[in-house]
C-alpha cells in the first residue's frame, strides 16, 4: 500500500503528520535499512567470496576499493538527501504536482552530477589509490577492480535518488525491494563469476556492476505507477530547481563525503601495520553498515518524517521525532552489539581471519560497535539540520567529526595499541562529536519557526 494518498481535490495526504512517531521511525528505519543494507551487502558478499581465495593482497585490494566506493556512494547519498528534502516538503504541503516536479528535476540533475563525478574519480584512480597507501600488486588489483565498477556508479545513483523519492512519499517498502533485487543479483553472480568462471577479482567487479544496473532498473517502476511518475523536463524548470537542490545537496554532499574521507585517513594509518591489518579493517568496514544498517538508515528514514511535519507546520512533532530517534538508536545499538559479541568467533571464521585481522574483527564486535550510538546521534543531527534548512550545520558537525575528531585521536591511540588503537581513537572522537551534534541539532529545532 502506498504511504500517501491522493484525494479528490488532487492533493497528496502526508502520512507522517499524524500517528505514533516512534512507530513511524521504527517502520521507516527498519524497511529503509533493509534496502540500504542490501546495497552494502553487495560489498560484504564480495568480501566473503574474495576471502575464500585466501590471498591477502586480493582481500586488501577490496578493502582499499571499498574506501573509494564509500566515497562515491556518499556523493550519491548527499544528492538523494537534497531530493528527498524537497519532495517531502511538497508532500507535507499536500501538493502532488510540486512533488512530481521536484522529483523530476532532482533525478535529472542528480544523474548529471553523478556522471561527471564518476568520470573524474575514474580518471584519477591510480593516484587516489596510492594516497590510501596501497603499493605493488595490491595497488594494481585495486585500480583494476575500480576501473570496472566506477562507471556503473551513476546507475547506483539513479537507484539511490529513486529510493529517496519513494521514501519521501513514505513508501519505504518499495524502496527497500529495489535494493534487495540488486543484492540478490550480486549474491547469485559472485560464486558463478569468481569460482565457476575463475574470474576472481574481475568476477566480483562484474557482479557489482550488474547489481547496480538492477537497482536502477527496478526503482523507477513504482515511482511511475504509484507516485505520479515524472514530468516532461524543461530547461527553465531545471534552472529553477538547480539553486534549491544545490543549496541542500552541496552541504549534504560535503557532509557525506566527510565520512569516507575520515575512513581514507584511517585506512592510510592502518596500512602502516601491513596488509593483514588492512584486511581486518576492511572486514570491519563491510560488517558495520550491514550489522548497523538500521542506524545508517536513520538519516534517510527520519528525514521524510521531519520534512513532512516541517512542511505541515508541526514543529512539536519535529522535536518529538528527534528525541524518539535517539531512543531508537540506543535500543538498536545495544541489541546489535550483544549479537555481534556472541557471534564474534564464527564471524571471524567466516572471513578466515587470523592474527591481527582477527583481533580487529573481535574489537569491532564489542566495544567499538557499542560506541556506534554516537555515530547514530550524528546521523540524527544531520537529518534534522538538512530538512530544516540548516545543511551547513550538519556539514560542520560531520567534517569536525572526521578530521579533528578522527586523526589526532587515531594517531594518539595508535602509539599505545597499534592498528587497534587507530580504530579505538576513531571511535573515541565520535563520542565527542556525537554529543556536540545532538546539542547543535536540538538548538536548530528549537530556533526553527513553523512554516505555516
List of the chain residues with pLDDT < 70: 1-14, 32, 35-36, 38-39, 41-43, 172, 255-256, 450-452
pLDDT for 38 equals 67
pLDDT per position as a tens digit, 41-51 = 666 777 777 77
In the chain, where the domains are located: 23-447
Per-residue confidence (pLDDT) for residue 437, from 0 to 100? 92
Helices (H), 372-406: 373-387, 391-402
Tens digits of per-residue pLDDT, 378-402?
Answer: 989 988 888 887 878 878 888 888 8
What pLDDT does 3 receive?
Answer: 43
pLDDT at 42: 66
Quick one: cell of 295?
542506524
List pLDDT tens digits, range 172-186. Answer: 678 778 878 888 888
Give the chain's length. 452
pLDDT at position 150 is 92
pLDDT of residue 451: 59
Q: What is the predicted pLDDT for the residue at 12? A: 47
Residue 153: what pLDDT?
A: 85
- Mapped onto helix, strand or coil, the DSSP state of residue 230 is coil
Separation CA 256–CA 70 (nearest Å):
10
d(CA 409, CA 431): 11
Whole-angstrom distance, CA of residue 305 vs CA of residue 330: 19
pTM for the whole structure = 0.67
- Axis crossing angle, helix 407-447 with helix 315-342, rounded to the nearest 10: 150
Range list of H helices, 272-292: 275-291
Q: Tell me the Cα Rg of the chain.
A: 21
d(CA 35, CA 33): 5
Which grid coordinates are listed for 354?
Answer: 587470523
Amino acid at each position: 500500500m502506498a504511504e500517501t494518498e491522493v484525494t479528490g481535490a488532487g492533493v497528496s495526504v502526508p502520512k507522517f503528520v499524524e500517528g505514533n512517531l516512534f512507530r513511524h521511525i521504527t517502520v521507516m528505519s527498519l524497511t529503509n535499512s533493509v534496502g540500504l543494507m542490501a546495497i552494502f551487502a553487495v560489498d560484504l558478499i564480495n568480501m566473503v567470496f574474495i576471502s575464500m581465495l585466501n590471498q591477502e593482497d586480493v582481500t586488501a585490494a577490496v578493502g582499499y576499493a571499498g574506501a573509494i566506493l564509500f566515497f562515491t556512494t556518499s556523493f550519491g547519498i548527499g544528492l538523494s538527501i537534497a531530493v528527498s528534502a524537497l519532495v517531502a516538503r511538497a508532500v507535507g504541503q499536500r501538493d502532488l504536482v510540486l512533488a512530481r516536479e521536484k522529483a523530476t528535476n532532482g533525478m535529472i540533475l542528480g544523474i548529471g552530477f553523478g556522471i561527471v563525478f564518476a568520470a573524474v574519480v575514474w580518471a584519477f584512480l591510480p593516484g587516489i589509490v596510492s594516497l590510501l597507501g596501497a603499493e605493488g600488486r595490491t595497488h594494481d588489483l585495486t585500480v583494476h577492480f575500480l576501473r570496472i565498477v566506477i562507471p556503473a556508479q551513476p546507475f547506483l545513483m539513479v537507484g539511490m535518488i529513486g529510493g529517496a523519492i519513494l521514501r519521501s512519499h513514505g513508501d519505504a517498502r518499495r524502496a527497500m525491494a529495489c535494493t534487495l533485487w540488486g543484492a540478490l543479483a550480486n549474491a547469485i553472480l559472485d560464486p558463478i563469476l569468481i569460482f565457476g568462471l575463475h574470474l576472481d577479482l574481475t568476477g566480483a567487479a562484474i557482479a557489482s556492476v550488474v547489481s547496480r544496473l538492477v537497482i536502477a532498473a527496478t526503482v523507477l517502476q513504482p515511482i511511475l505507477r504509484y507516485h505520479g511518475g515524472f514530468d516532461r523536463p524543461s530547461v527553465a524548470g531545471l534552472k529553477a530547481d538547480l539553486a534549491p537542490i544545490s543549496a541542500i545537496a552541496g552541504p549534504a554532499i560535503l557532509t557525506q563525503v566527510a565520512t569516507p574521507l575520515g575512513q581514507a585517513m584511517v585506512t592510510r594509518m592502518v596500512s602502516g601495520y601491513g596488509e593483514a591489518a588492512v584486511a581486518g579493517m576492511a572486514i570491519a568496514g563491510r560488517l558495520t553498515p550491514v550489522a548497523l544498517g538500521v542506524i545508517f538508515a536513520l538519516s534517510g528514514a527520519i528525514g521524510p518524517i521531519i520534512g513532512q511535519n516541517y512542511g505541515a507546520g508541526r514543529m512539536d512533532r519535529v522535536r518529538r521525532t528527534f528525541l524518539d530517534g535517539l531512543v531508537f538508536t540506543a535500543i538498536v545499538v545495544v541489541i546489535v552489539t550483544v549479537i555481534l559479541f556472541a557471534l564474534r568467533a564464527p564471524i571471524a571464521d567466516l572471513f578466515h581471519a587470523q592474527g591481527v585481522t582477527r583481533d580487529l574483527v573481535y574489537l569491532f564486535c564489542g566495544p567499538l560497535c557499542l560506541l556506534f550510538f554516537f555515530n547514530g546521534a550524528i546521523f540524527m543531527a544531520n537529518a534534522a539540520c538538512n530538512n530544516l534548512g540548516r545543511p551547513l550545520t550538519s556539514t560542520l558537525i560531520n567534517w569536525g567529526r572526521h578530521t579533528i575528531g578522527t586523526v589526532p585521536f587515531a594517531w594518539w591511540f595508535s602509539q599505545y595499541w597499534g592498528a587497534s588503537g587507530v580504530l579505538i581513537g576513531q571511535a573515541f572522537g565520535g563520542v565527542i562529536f556525537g554529543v556536540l551534534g545532538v546539542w547543535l541539532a536540538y538548538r536548530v529545532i528549537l530556533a526553527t519557526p513553523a512554516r505555516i
